Amino acid sequence: MPSHLPDSGFHYAAPFYDKLAKLVYGSALQQAQLALFPFLPQQGRVLIIGGGSGWILEQLTHTGKKLDILYLDAAPAMLKLAQAKYKKLHQQHNCSVAFRLGTEQKIESQEQFDVIITPFLLDLFPPQRLHQLMSKLKHALPPDGLWLVADFWPVLQHPPLWQRALVWAMYTFFGAISSVQAKQLPDYAFHFKKLNLTEKYSRSFYGGMVQAKVFVNCPQNPYI
Ligand SMILES: C[S@@+](CC[C@H](N)C(=O)[O-])C[C@H]1O[C@@H](n2cnc3c(N)ncnc32)[C@H](O)[C@@H]1O
């Protein structure tokens, strides 16, 4: 792993990550991300952070929407795959994409996005680090901006054994090969609530183990 680059542990997983995800989850992880597309504006600035090998970019170009996308990923090999995939697109589209290597720390303090997409990113971090990352992202979201999430987020408070076993297997495997720091799924709802983000849509996939959710950045209530 390029040890000087923070959170770049997926660098070596890049060549097989998509195949492995498909083998285990079929198309569920992609379906969860596609379910979020109707919430994208016809035109706007979008941040995709942790998009991985870039599958999502090709899909976005099919929407016909005029999106100005910042594609930010911490793993050099993932970003390279995404860039190559994007370069190979032949059909006409209205999106423009800027690729940036790094973590949320690479978002400039004045940068703002109408929509932020975190596809299977938030599950990687232990609580304190997650709060730090989410606070930084919230700072880049204007009032009424949307945050689109797809993640391993069990619907049930006490998920069935097969889901718990799968979660354990993922953290054990990616903890070892990608230095994922988290050991269990975060309390996402707590973190979104803490940042005053309000849920406006939710749909579940893969027997309730995966959810796609849309949050809106509520303007601060001046009376609180
Ligand atoms: C589990 S993979 C998900 C990839 C893709 N979204 C998908 O669903 O196939 C997580 C991705 O987030 C990236 N990542 C991890 N930490 C990050 C951070 N702090 N900032 C930006 N990207 C990060 C990894 O390099 C990896 O590409």
Q: Which CATH number do you get for residue 19?
A: 3.40.50.150
Does 183 map to a domain? Answer: yes
- Rounded Cα–Cα distance for residues 79 and 50 (Å): 9
Does 135 map to a domain? Answer: yes
Enclosing domain of residue 101: 14-217
Does 179 map to a domain? Answer: yes
CA of 158 to the centre of ligand 1 (A): 26
Q: What is the mean pLDDT of residues 131-136?
A: 98
Q: What is the mean pLDDT of residues 152-158?
A: 97
Q: How far is CA 157 from the centre of its chain?
A: 22
Give the Cβ contact number of residue 152 at 10 Å.
Answer: 22
- Which residue do the tokens 């609180």 mark? 224
Say whether pLDDT at 49 is over 50: yes
Does 224 map to a domain? Answer: no
Does 130 map to a domain? Answer: yes
Q: What is the mean pLDDT of the chain?
A: 96
Atom from ligand 1 closest to the CA of residue 75 = 25
Exposed / middle / buried, residue 39 (Cβ in 10 Å: 0-12, 13-18, 19+): middle
CA angle 7, 12, 16 (to 5 degrees): 120
Does 5 map to a domain? Answer: no
Give the Cβ contact number of residue 134 at 10 Å.
Answer: 23
Residue nearest (by alpha carbon) to ligand 1 atom 19: 103
Mutate to test the pocket of ligand 1, among 5, 8, 10, 136 (most ligand atoms within 8 A of CB): 10
Q: What is the mean pLDDT of residues 64-84?
A: 98
pLDDT-derived band at 224 (thresholds 50, 70, 90) equals: very low
Say whether pLDDT at 221 is over 80: no
Residue nearest (by alpha carbon) to ligand 1 atom 27: 52
Q: What is the mean pLDDT of residues 54-83?
A: 97
CA of 221 to the centre of ligand 1 (A): 33
Phi and psi dihedrals of 63, rounded to 5? -75, -20
Task: Provide the domain count of the chain.
Answer: 1
pLDDT-derived band at 7 (thresholds 50, 70, 90) equals: very high
CA of 73 to the centre of ligand 1 (A): 6
Say whether pLDDT at 178 is over 90: yes
Sheet containing 210-217, strands listed edge to edge, beginning at the edge strand earlier in sequence: 96-101, 66-73, 43-49, 115-119, 146-152, 210-217, 197-205
pLDDT-derived band at 223 (thresholds 50, 70, 90) equals: low
Does 3 map to a domain? Answer: no
Does 1 map to a domain? Answer: no
- Rounded Cα–Cα distance for residues 39 and 176 (Å): 36
Residue nearest (by alpha carbon) to ligand 1 atom 16: 7
Atom from ligand 1 closest to the CA of residue 30 = 8
pLDDT-derived band at 106 (thresholds 50, 70, 90) equals: very high
Residues within 6 Å of ligand 1 by CB: 7, 10, 21, 29, 49-52, 72-75, 78, 103-104, 119-121, 124
Say whether pLDDT at 55 is over 80: yes
